[in-house]
């Protein structure tokens, strides 16, 4: 079975974000880029599935040469091969999904893992869009995944609980934290990843469906009052919450 | 411009979600701006009080009904909503940005060949174009965007859209039986997490961080949450340490929340945590370290020991609430 894991290359969550000179994107200076945290769960689940059922794991990523760092990490974890779908333009979720769907079709992969969202644009929809474009079943925000023949049983996180979903291959699954514990790359894996080639193709083109008009920082929040430094401040705090903020 | 606005009304266990009513108001406001009609669509079995979407400015709601639609199904709900959007000629479709909205809206967008923008916190106009604002990088920045294709799908962040004064009118409810729902993906069981409030939906959240010193002290966080009728949240540090489940994590790799009141106990305020809760209306911080970054965004703070301050706070709140 051919299994695909899609990865994106994003600013570390500890990074401070500043708006770039174009007022439409971030200033990448001084920002460390990493494997999108949720994609690590997707890579791990793809590898686990291959280990129990056989097959191969192909990594797909849409972006530019910088993404190769993230792709190498996925290869070092144990993925077999990778394709970078190159685009120098900022694409929106729909155009990224179109490029991925095209390549997944070419790869004839019938099980595809995504992270549930990229922690840059936070749309949290590329997996679902790709599934629909391919006509695949889809389960998003998955914390538990089982594949038995063609049958999938997955638990997805919802408000206040989980839904247990039954569906079947071909399918897209988007991974939530808790699905698994991503492995660290071994030294052997890291060495092997250096020898693997990353195939490069142009992303199947479509213009972005969304126009970015402006990026801005949220209005700075004013630091408020320090009411006191011990329990004697409690009555005043409660008074403020009741009378000034009117929240209790 | 727009020809017709369609709002998806989400139900769980037959109850309408508040996020959908906010979307209904946003939908009727957009329709008013363009001088077109806004209608609503709901999918489920029995649904209580559907006509109340009328209070939010929508005069008609179509209820697609089947016993097998009581629980969510991506495939069945996607087909029903997209087919109805096409039949009604809707070119703007709105959802609440909930677990269901996030799963369903992209599917509908593809079926309509629409562009899509998620988790919008503001709806504005640039001439005839809708201009929405959406937080990116977990709220460290905001993006103003226009969706280019004629068909547009938006989801709205819960607890943000101002619904203003409600009207008394009731919507006309039209029930349409669905003959054979497409159940290629089907929810076979719902697992509830102990009937507690979820941080994603709560109006008040009390979160604990490393300053709680161990999972055995989270009863203090829970006591304060109970006194306030709040959900319990947690910082990434304590989730990674295994003290609390990930479903409670607030921050960039947890849930991004906008409650009316957010109380941070023993949380210093890492960038990724602040990003996830800074849009809360009121923030209270209790932390021994007066230099903790959390105090830079807190409305009210006590620079004291949580083990001393929190029990006193629980007592005081109980007193006031009596």
Q: How high is the pLDDT of residue A220?
A: 85
Sequence ranges of the domains in chain B: 4-177, 204-321
Enumerate the residues of chain A whose CB falls inside 8 A of the CB of residue B303.
226, 228-229
- Pick the residue of A11, A12, A13, A26 with the most B CBs within 10 A to test the interface with B by mutation: A13
% of chain B at pLDDT higher than 90: 95
Sequence ranges of the domains in chain A: 2-202
ipTM for the complex?
Answer: 0.95
Cα B213 to the center of its chain, rounded Å: 31
Cβ separation of B309 and A231 shorter than 8 Å? yes
Cβ separation of A211 and B107 shorter than 8 Å? no
Report the pLDDT averaged over residues B50-73.
97
| B151 secondary structure, DSSP code | S
For the segment(s) A2-202, the CATH number from 3.40.50.620, 3.40.50.300, 3.30.465.10, 1.10.10.10 is 3.40.50.620
* Closest alpha carbon to A121 in B99, B140, B158, B254: B140
| B208 secondary structure, DSSP code | E
pTM score of the predicted model: 0.94
Report the pLDDT averaged over residues B269-293.
95
CA distance A43 to chain B (A): 17
The first and second tokens of residue B109, run together, are: 């967008």
pLDDT band at A196 (very low <50, low <70, confident <90, very high): very high
Q: How high is the pLDDT of residue A88?
A: 82
Q: CA A202, A204, A208: angle at the middle one, nearest 5?
A: 110
**E-strand spans in B66-169?**
92-96, 115-120, 122-126, 129-136, 141-147, 152-156
| CA dist list (Å): A45 to A56, A73, A140, A223, B209 | 12, 15, 14, 43, 29
CB-nearest partner of A129 from B106, B140, B145:
B106
User: Does B195 have pLDDT greater than 80?
Assistant: no
Q: How high is the pLDDT of residue A222?
A: 81
CA B74/CA A174 separation, integer angstroms: 14
The CATH T-level fold of domain B204-321 is Rossmann fold (3.40.50)
Q: How high is the pLDDT of residue B194?
A: 67
Write the pLDDT tens digit of every residue in A15-63: 999 999 999 999 999 999 999 999 999 999 999 999 999 999 999 999 9
* Closest alpha carbon to A55 in A81, A32, A33: A81
- Residue that has been written with the tokens 């900022």 in this structure: A90
pLDDT band at A90 (very low <50, low <70, confident <90, very high): confident
Enumerate the residues of chain B whose CB falls inside 8 A of the CB of residue A182.
none
CA B236/CA A199 separation, integer angstroms: 36
Write the pLDDT tens digit of every residue in B78-125: 999 999 999 999 999 999 999 999 999 999 999 999 999 999 999 999
Enumerate the residues of chain B whose CB falls inside 8 A of the CB of residue A14.
270-272
Residue of A nearest to B141 (CA): A217
pLDDT band at B196 (very low <50, low <70, confident <90, very high): confident
The CATH T-level fold of domain B4-177 is Rossmann fold (3.40.50)
pLDDT band at B7 (very low <50, low <70, confident <90, very high): very high
């Amino acid at each position: 079975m051919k299994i695909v894991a899609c990865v994106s290359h994003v600013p570390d969550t500890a990074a401070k974000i500043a708006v770039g000179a174009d007022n439409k994107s971030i200033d990448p200076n001084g920002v460390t880029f990493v494997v999108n945290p949720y994609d690590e769960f997707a890579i791990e689940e793809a590898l686990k599935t291959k280990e129990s059922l056989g097959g191969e794991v192909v990594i797909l990523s849409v972006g530019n040469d910088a993404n190769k760092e993230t792709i190498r990490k996925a290869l070092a974890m144990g993925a077999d091969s990778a394709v970078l779908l190159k685009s120098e333009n900022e694409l929106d979720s729909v155009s990224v999904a179109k490029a991925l769907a095209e390549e997944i079709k070419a790869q004839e992969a019938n099980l595809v893992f995504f992270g549930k969202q990229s922690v840059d644009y936070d749309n949290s929809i590329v997996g679902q869009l790709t599934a629909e474009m391919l006509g695949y079943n889809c389960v998003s925000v998955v914390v538990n995944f089982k594949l038995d023949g063609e049958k999938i049983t997955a638990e997805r996180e919802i408000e206040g609980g989980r839904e247990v979903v039954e569906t079947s291959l071909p399918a897209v699954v988007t991974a939530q934290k808790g699905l698994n514990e991503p492995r660290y790359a071994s030294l052997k894996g890291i060495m092997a990843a250096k020898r693997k080639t990353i195939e490069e193709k142009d992303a199947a083109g479509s213009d972005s469906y969304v126009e970015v008009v402006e990026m801005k920082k949220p209005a700075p929040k004013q630091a408020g009052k320090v009411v006191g430094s011990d329990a004697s401040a409690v009555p005043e705090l409660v008074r403020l919450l009741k009378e000034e903020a009117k929240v209790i | 411009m727009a020809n017709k606005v369609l709002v998806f009304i989400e139900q769980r266990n037959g109850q309408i979600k508040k996020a959908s009513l906010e979307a209904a108001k946003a939908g009727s406001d957009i329709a008013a701006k363009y001088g077109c009609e806004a209608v609503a669509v709901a999918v489920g079995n029995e649904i209580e009080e559907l006509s109340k979407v009328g209070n939010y400015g929508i005069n008609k709601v179509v209820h697609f009904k089947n016993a097998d639609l009581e629980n969510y199904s991506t495939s069945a709900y996607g087909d029903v909503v997209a087919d109805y959007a096409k039949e009604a000629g809707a070119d703007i479709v709105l959802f609440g940005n909930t677990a269901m909205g996030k799963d369903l809206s992209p599917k509908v967008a593809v079926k309509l060949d629409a562009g899509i923008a998620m988790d919008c916190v503001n709806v504005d106009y640039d001439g005839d174009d809708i201009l929405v604002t959406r937080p990116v990088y977990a709220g460290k920045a905001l993006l103003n965007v226009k969706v280019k294709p004629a068909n547009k799908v938006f989801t709205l962040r819960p607890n943000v859209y101002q619904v203003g004064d409600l009207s008394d009118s009731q919507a006309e409810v039209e029930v349409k039986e669905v003959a054979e729902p497409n159940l290629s993906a089907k929810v076979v069981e719902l697992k509830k997490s102990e009937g507690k409030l979820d941080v994603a939906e709560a109006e008040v959240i009390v979160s604990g961080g490393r300053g709680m010193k161990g999972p055995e002290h989270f009863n203090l966080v829970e006591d304060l949450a109970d006194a306030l009728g709040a959900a319990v949240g947690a910082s990434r540090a304590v989730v990674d340490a295994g003290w609390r489940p990930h479903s409670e994590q607030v921050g960039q790799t947890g849930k991004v929340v906008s409650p009316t009141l957010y109380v941070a106990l023993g949380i210093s305020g890492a960038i990724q945590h602040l990003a996830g809760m800074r849009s809360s209306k009121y923030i209270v911080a209790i932390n021994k370290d007066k230099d903790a970054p959390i105090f830079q965004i807190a409305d009210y703070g006590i620079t004291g020991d949580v083990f001393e301050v929190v029990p006193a706070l629980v007592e005081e709140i109980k007193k006031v609430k009596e």
